Structure 1
Amino acid sequence: MTVREVAAEAYRESLPVLALSGVGGLFAGVVLGGMDAELARVAGLLVLVPALLATRGNVYGSLGARLGSALHQGLVEPRFSPADERVNAAVAAALANGVLVSGLAAVLTVALLGALGRPAAPLWTLLAIALLAGLVSGLLLAVAVVAVVFVGYRRGLNPDTLAGPVVTTTGDVVGVATLLAATRVVLALGGG
C-alpha cells in the first residue's frame, strides 16, 4: 500500500466516528448545561465532572486498547463469550479501576475544596454520587467498548481507530447522563 492509500483508509475509517464524536460531545454539553439545579445543590459537583469524565476515557480507552491488541495477536476471538477469561478479566479490571478512581476523585474534590476554603458537599454525598455514576457508567461503557471493538474488527475495521473516539464520546455522554441520574438519586435519598 502507498502512503496515500493508507491515509485514505485511515480517514475513511475515522472521519465518520469523529463526526459522531462531535455530535456526542455536544449532546453531553447540553445535558451538563441542564444540570443547573443539581450543580447548585451539590457544592463541588462541577469540580468532580472533569475528573469523572477523564477517568471514563482513560480507563475504558485502555480496555479498548487491550482488546484490540488481543484481537491483533489472536489471543481472543471477536465475539463475546461468557467463558472467555481474558475478556472477563479485562472488563472486571476496568470496572474496578473506574469505580475506585471515581471514589478517589470524590475524596480529592472534598480535600481540594477544603484546602482552598471553598464550599463542598459532605464527603459521603459526593462519594455516593461518584461511586454510583462510576459503577453504572462503567457497566454501560464496558458493553459499548466490547461491542464496538469486536463488531468493528469483524467488519474489517481497525479497533485501534475506533476505540479512542468511541470511548471518549460514549464516556462523555454516558458519564454526564449517569452523573445526573446518580446526583438525583442521592439527593432523593437525602444526600443534600
Structure 2
Amino acid sequence: MKIWLFRESQTAKDLKESLFSLTFCTFGDLITGVTIGYFTDLLNALPALIILIPPAIGMRGNIFASLGSRLGSYLHTGEIVIGGKSNLLKENIKTSFALTFSMSIYIGFLAWIVAKWFGMEKYFGRTIDVMDLSLISLFAGIFSAFIMIFFTFLITFLSYKKGWNPDNLTAPLITLAGDIITLPLLFFSMKVVSLFYDELKIVIFIAFLIITFTYTFLSSRTEVSKRILAESLPVLAICGLLSIFSGSILGSKFEGIMGISAILTILPAFLEDGGAIGGILAARFSSSLHIGEIKYEKKPSKKVIRLFIVMHIVGLIIFPLIGIFGYIAGSLIGLPGYNLLKMILISLTAGEILVIIVNFLSYYLSTISFKIGVNPDNVVIPVLTSLMDFVGTACLIGVAFLYL
C-alpha cells in the first residue's frame, strides 16, 4: 500500500522533477563554488566585490526566473503556443533587458554604499567610487543577459514540449545558469573596469545611464510591458536591497570567512538551491492559482502540505551533497575550512531550517499577491530569491560559526 505522501502520482512526479533539477543544479553550482575559491585572491584585492556577488547573481535569477515563470503560465493558460509568433514574447524580452540595465546600476550603487560603510573601498591600491562597482555590475549584467534570455526560452519551451512541468524546472535551472554565468563575468568585468582611466569611466557611466533610462522608457509603451515593469521594478529594488544585506553579512565577517574560506565554495549552491526550492513552489502556486487549483487559505491545504514535504525530502538529499562538494572543492583548491562531517552537518542543518522558512513564505506570498490582484509571476520569485539570499546567508554563516 502506498504511503500517504505518494498516494497521488502527481506528488511523485513533483518529487522526481524537482529532485532532478535541483540535483543537476547542485552539481552545476560546484563550478560556481570553485570559481569563488579560485578567485579568492581577487576578492582580497577588491573585498567590496564580495558584497556585490549575492545581489548580482540573485538579480539574474530574479529577472529571468520570473520570465520563465511568466512563460510557464502563458503556456499553461494557452496565451502562447510553441512555434507560434506572439508580441507577448517580444514584450517580455524587452522588459527583461530593461530590468537588467536598471537593476545592475542600482545594485552597484548599493554595493558601493555598503563597501564605504565597512571600509572595504580599496581597489588595486586605490579607493573605489560608485562608478567602479556600478560598471562592474552593469557589464556583468549585459554580458549575461543575452545568454540568459536564450537559456530561459530554451528550458521553458523544451521542458513543456517534452511533457514536463516547466514550473518544476525553470527556477532552479535558470538560477543555476545565472550563478554559473554571472560569477566569472563579475570577475572578468572587474578586470576590464580596472583598465579604464577616470575620464573614460565617466563617459561610459553617463552613456549607460542615458541608455538605461531611454530603453526602459521605450520598453514601457505597451500594456504588457508597462505592467511587468510597474510590478517588477519596485519589487526588484527591494530585492536588491535584501540581497545587499546578505552581502553585508559577508562583508562584516570578511576576515573570519577568509579563515574558513572553504565555506564560500558551498555558498552559491546553498543559496541557489534555497532560492530554487522557493522558485519551484512559487511557480507551482502561481500556475495553480491562475487555473483555479488552489486559492488563498490561512491554513495551507493538503495539496500544499504535500509539496512542502516533497521539498523537505529533496533538501535531505540535496544539502548533504552540497556539503560534500564544498569539502571536495575546498580540499582541491587548498582552502582552509572544516572536515567532511562538519561540512555536511552545516549544510544540512542550515538547509532544512531554510526549507521551513521558504515553504511558508512561498505559499503566503503567492496566494496573497494573487488575492490582491498582483501577478505572482512578477513579484514572488524575485522577493523569495532575495529573501533566501539574506536568510540563507545568515543561516549558513551562522551555523558555520557555531561549528568553529
TM-score in terms of structure 1 length:
0.89
Residue 25 of structure 2 is aligned to residue 18 of structure 1: no
Contact kept? 1:65, 1:160, Cα under 8 Å: yes
Gaps of 5+ in 1: none
Contact kept? 1:21, 1:166, Cα under 8 Å: yes
Match of 2:319 in 1: none
Match among 128, 133, 137 for residue 126 of structure 1: 133
Letter in 2 for 1:88: K
User: SS of the counterpart of 2:8?
Assistant: helix
Give the Cα separation in 2 of the matches to 1:14 and 1:115. 40
Match of 1:179 in 2: 186
Match of 1:91 in 2: 93
Match of 2:399 in 1: none
Match of 1:137 in 2: 144
Match of 1:71 in 2: 75
Contact kept? 2:51, 2:114, Cα under 8 Å: no
Match among 28, 33, 46 for residue 32 of structure 2: 28
Q: Give CA-to-partner distance per residue, 1:92-143, whole Å, 9 cap, x none.
A: 2122112211211111111122234442522211111100001111111111
Residue correspondences, number = 189
Give the Cα separation in 1 of the matches to 2:25 and 2:167. 15
Offset at 1:6? 1.0
Pick which of 87-96 and 139-148 moved more: 87-96
Q: Give CA-to-partner distance per residue, 1:25-59, whole Å, 9 cap, x none.
A: 11111112112233233341111000111111111
Offset at 1:190? 5.0
Offset at 1:78? 2.0
CA RMSD of aligned residues (A): 2.0
Match of 1:158 in 2: 165
Contact kept? 1:78, 1:151, Cα under 8 Å: no
Residue 42 of structure 2 is aligned to residue 38 of structure 1: yes
Match of 1:53 in 2: 57
Give the Cα separation in 1 of the matches to 2:40 and 2:47. 12
Offset at 1:8? 1.5
Letter in 1 for 2:139: L
Q: Determine what percentage of the aligned residue pairs are the same residue.
A: 27
Letter in 1 for 2:147: L
Contact kept? 1:31, 1:177, Cα under 8 Å: yes
Letter in 2 for 1:84: S
Give the Cα separation in 1 of the matches to 2:192 and 2:119. 28
Letter in 2 for 1:17: S
Q: Which of the pair has more CA radius of gyration?
A: 2
Greater RCO (CA < 8 Å, at least 6 residues apart) = 1
TM-score in terms of structure 2 length:
0.44
Give the Cα separation in 2 of the matches to 1:24 and 1:95. 25
Gaps of 5+ in 2: 1-5, 123-127, 199-404
Contact kept? 1:107, 1:127, Cα under 8 Å: yes
Contact kept? 2:56, 2:137, Cα under 8 Å: yes
